[in-house]
Amino acid sequence: MRICLFPGTFDPVTLGHVDIINRALPLFDKIIVGIGINTAKAPMFTPDQRRNWIAEIYKDEERVEGAVYEGLTIDFCKKIGARFILRGIRYVSDFEYEKTIADANRTLDKSIETIFLTGEPKYTSVASTIVRDIIKNGGDATPFLPEAVAKSLLK
């Protein structure tokens, strides 16, 4: 079984994230959206809220599930039996950063491969950081968000 981990903070889940997951679905038997707990970051949304968004967005797709993890991504891959790590690339600068992480992960475990997918051009500007800033300042972030996320923010 080809299990893939798509790690990130997903704070919040954006249309860019959903684009990468949807385009990766034909490649894998299961995609686990790994919501990493990074003590250096102060997230806007709880890990449970982010996992619930993934569950709601993919309620009709049993091959996608959300999970929360702490520690090294490579260790979480081993725990869930993932042989692939999925990463989305928007810009060349993303690739340079992501390649450094992929190289480190390969050094830690050569059996786990990182797969890069480039985002659809229409989602290139969709970054969680920008979306959080729009939300914090009372703007309308719905053009950047899946319906399930947008609806929950309106409550």
Among the options 50, 51, 87, 90, which is catalytic? 90
17 catalytic residue (yes or no): yes
Is the pLDDT assigned to residue 85 strictly greater than 80? yes
Three-state DSSP class for 43?
A: coil
What confidence score (pLDDT) does residue 125 get?
A: 80
Look-up of token digits 């950063």: 97
> In the chain, what are the domain boundaries?
3-154
Distance (Å, rounded) from C-alpha 61 to C-alpha 98? 28
What confidence score (pLDDT) does residue 73 get?
A: 96
Query: Residue 70 pairs with which residues in a beta bridge?
Result: 37
Instruction: Report the pLDDT averaged over residues 76-98.
Output: 94
Topology annotation, domain 3-154: Rossmann fold (3.40.50)
122 catalytic residue (yes or no): no
∠ Cα 46 148 54 (to 5°): 55
Helix then strand then coil, % of the chain, to nearest 5: 45, 20, 30
What confidence score (pLDDT) does residue 40 get?
A: 81
Among the options 17, 50, 51, 87, which is catalytic? 17
